[in-house]
Amino acid sequence: MKNKMSQDKFPLEKLLTCSVRDYCDSKKVSLSDYKLVGVSVQDATDIPRGNAMLYFKKQIPEDAEAIVDLRCSQSGVGFSIFGTALIPKNK
């Protein structure tokens, strides 16, 4: 699994809040066709809020097809973003 491609180009429309099961159902593929990798930025206080998603996108593995179960939270001191990268096993 390669990491840190120029993920600034990872398309926002592939950052999804749906479940992995819903994603697989919509694509008519099996969950077993993918390797699942957690992606997160936790309790980030040193990154300006306006750059949060850009920083998160840089954590996405290069060969990810999509990020599902995307969750974001923000507190007075920082933010957290979590998701699951779906990496096709045939790559």
56 falls within a domain: yes
Question: Is a pLDDT exceeding 80 seen at residue 91?
Answer: no
Would residue 13 count as lying in a domain?
Answer: yes
Q: Spell out the residues 6+ positions from residue 41 whose beta carbon is closer than 8 angstroms to its own.
A: 47, 52, 55, 56, 59, 79, 80, 81
In a domain, 28, yes or no: yes
pLDDT tens-digit map of 14-73: 999 999 999 999 999 999 999 999 999 886 667 776 677 888 888 999 999 999 999 988
User: Is residue 22 one of the residues assigned to a domain?
Assistant: yes
Is 2 within the bounds of a domain?
A: no
Which residue segment(s) compose the domain that 45 sits in? 7-88
Nearest Cα residue to 8 out of 55, 67, 63, 76: 55
- Residue 6 pLDDT > 70: no
Tally of structural domains, the chain: 1
HSE of 78, CA atoms in CB hemisphere, 13 A:
9
> pTM of the predicted model, to two decimals?
0.81
**Euclidean distance between CA atoms 27 and 21, whole angstroms:** 10
Tell whether 61 is covered by a domain. Answer: yes
69 lies in some domain? yes
Within a domain: residue 73?
yes
- Res 73: pLDDT: 85
